[in-house]
């Protein structure tokens, strides 16, 4: 009897052990499966909507994701001077926040009433960003719209509701003392091409390694690196024509980010086409060599400047062609819009930063 009882106890113990093993195996498998399913869903969403390497958790992916979140929002990249004047200045709408990113000495000579001043090259500093509210429409103002557009991209990546004032102070006033630059007058009327240029997506993306962990810190570190590099934000149409087109310099790649239908009507010879809204897709970024200077071309220079900021954050060497195709040709069918004519000469106020 004692032997039988001992045998029964042994069998019972074995059954209990097997049961426990299955129980723990089931919990572990379920948790592991849950992680896998989560990653698969995230990959699927990213691949279907943005085609970015979001799930790899890399610093590059974090910049790409933040950019795609903005580009897929449907938000306009610019705001007209008329809206700023009628609503923010004349109408006194407190939901607008005016941010001038010009140099302090130019801001002091004349700026839009109510605008505060944070110079373009200092926008990445957290103490400056802390001055900008996230619950208002931020209107970014520069000289011609180019650096304001770069700042607009950065602010939207960080969760602000920002818009570049179209054509900057050039679109506001014709007073050259206030402008501090020569305004746009006419296009160079260089030749255009209609032959489509295809690029293979076989390039590696530049490596981003700031050592930061949050998306905001990574973006700010890369923006600081770019803005303190001494690199110009734009390249003139004359330089593009003389160096790249006429000179045949192979150290450049020309990227047209206009709509395909406008690209088809005429573009700078040799330019590839990647629409602005699709610039942050991985398969499109792989069309860009990381060892060449990238000339980004849009309609007026605004969206090209946003793309230029993004590409430099990723580690490319990119420049927006100043005034875009509007600066290259006067053919309205090719430009795809009405070119800049003149400023409405709205009022400005002088004085230092409040």
CATH code: domain of residue 143: 3.40.250.10
Residue 304 domain-assigned (yes or no): yes
Residue 52 clears pLDDT 90, i.e. is over it: no
Domain membership of residue 346 (yes or no) is no
Same domain, 235 and 171: no
The answer as to whether 2 is a domain residue is no
Instruction: List the beta bridge partners of residue 139.
Output: 98, 163
Domain co-membership, 153 together with 225: no
Residue 26 lies inside a defined structural domain of this protein: no
What is the model's pTM? 0.84
Buried-exposed string 208-242: b where 16+ CB fall within 10 A, e elsewhere: beeebeebbebbbbbbbbbbeeeeebbbbbebbbe
- Mean pLDDT for 264-278 is 98
Quick one: average pLDDT of 305-310?
Answer: 98
- Residues 330, 220, single domain; the answer is yes
Whether residue 322 contacts residue 234, with contact meaning beta carbons closer than 8 Å, is answered with: yes
Q: Are residues 144 and 238 in the same domain?
A: no
Q: What is the DSSP letter of 136?
A: S
Q: Are residues 326 and 232 in the same domain?
A: yes
Please indicate, yes or no, whether residues 88 and 175 belong to a single structural domain of this protein.
yes
Query: Would you say residue 65 lies in a domain?
Result: no
Let me know if residue 23 belongs to a domain.
no
Question: CA neighbours within 13 Å on the CB side: how many for 231?
Answer: 21
- 174 and 219 together in one domain: no
Residues 127-163 pLDDT 10s: 999 999 999 999 999 999 999 999 999 999 999 999 9
Question: In terms of domains, do 220 and 328 share one?
Answer: yes
| Residues 151 and 91 reside in one and the same domain | yes
Does one domain contain both 172 and 220?
no
Asked, for residue 59, whether it belongs to a domain, the answer is no
221 is in which domain, residue-wise?
A: 215-335
Q: Residue 353 to residues 112, 154, 345: CA-CA distances in angstroms?
A: 12, 22, 22
Three-state DSSP at 349 gives strand
82 and 170 in a single domain? The answer is: yes
Q: How remote is the C-alpha of 185 from its chain's centroid?
A: 28
User: In terms of domains, do 159 and 256 share one?
Assistant: no
Dist CA 309 CA 211 (whole Å): 20
Q: What number is the average pLDDT over the span 177-200? A: 96
pLDDT of residue 47: 31
Q: What is the pLDDT of residue 56?
A: 65
pLDDT of residue 57: 77
**How many structural domains are present in the chain?**
2
Note whether residue 28 is domain-resident: no
- pLDDT by residue (tens digit) across 227-257? 999 999 999 999 999 999 999 999 999 999 9
Listed residue (297, 190, 181) closest to 238, CA to CA: 190
């Amino acid at each position: 009897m004692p032997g039988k009882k001992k045998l029964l106890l042994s069998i019972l113990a074995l059954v209990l052990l097997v049961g426990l093993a299955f129980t723990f195996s089931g919990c572990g498998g379920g948790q592991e499966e849950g992680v896998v399913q989560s990653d698969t869903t995230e990959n699927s969403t990213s691949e279907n909507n943005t085609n970015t390497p979001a799930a790899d958790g890399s610093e590059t992916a974090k910049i790409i994701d933040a950019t795609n979140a903005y580009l897929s929002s449907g938000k306009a990249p610019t705001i007209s001077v008329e809206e700023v004047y009628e609503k923010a200045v004349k109408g006194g709408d407190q939901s607008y926040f005016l941010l001038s990113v010009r140099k302090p000495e130019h801001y002091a000579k004349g700026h839009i009433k109510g605008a505060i001043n944070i110079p373009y090259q200092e926008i990445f500093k957290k103490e400056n960003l802390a001055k900008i509210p996230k619950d208002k429409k931020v209107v970014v103002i520069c000289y011609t719209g180019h650096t304001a557009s770069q700042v607009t991209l950065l602010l939207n990546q960080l969760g602000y509701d920002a818009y570049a004032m179209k054509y900057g102070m050039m679109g506001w006033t014709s007073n050259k003392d206030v402008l501090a630059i020569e305004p746009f007058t006419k296009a160079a009327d260089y030749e255009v091409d209609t032959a489509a240029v295809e690029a293979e997506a076989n390039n590696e993306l530049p490596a981003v390694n700031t050592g930061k962990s949050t998306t905001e810190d990574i973006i700010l570190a890369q923006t600081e690196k770019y803005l303190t590099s001494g690199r110009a934000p734009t390249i003139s149409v004359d330089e593009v024509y003389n160096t790249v087109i006429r000179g045949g310099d192979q150290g450049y790649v020309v990227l047209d980010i206009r709509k395909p239908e406008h690209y088809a009507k005429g573009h700078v010879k040799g330019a590839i086409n990647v629409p602005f809204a699709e610039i942050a897709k991985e398969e499109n970024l792989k069309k860009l060599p990381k060892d060449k200077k990238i000339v980004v071309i849009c309609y007026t220079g605004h969206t090209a400047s946003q793309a230029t900021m993004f590409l430099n954050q990723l580690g490319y060497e990119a420049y927006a062609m100043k005034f875009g195709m509007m600066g290259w040709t006067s053919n309205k069918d090719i430009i795809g819009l009405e070119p800049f004519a003149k400023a409405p000469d709205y009022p400005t106020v002088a004085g230092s930063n409040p």
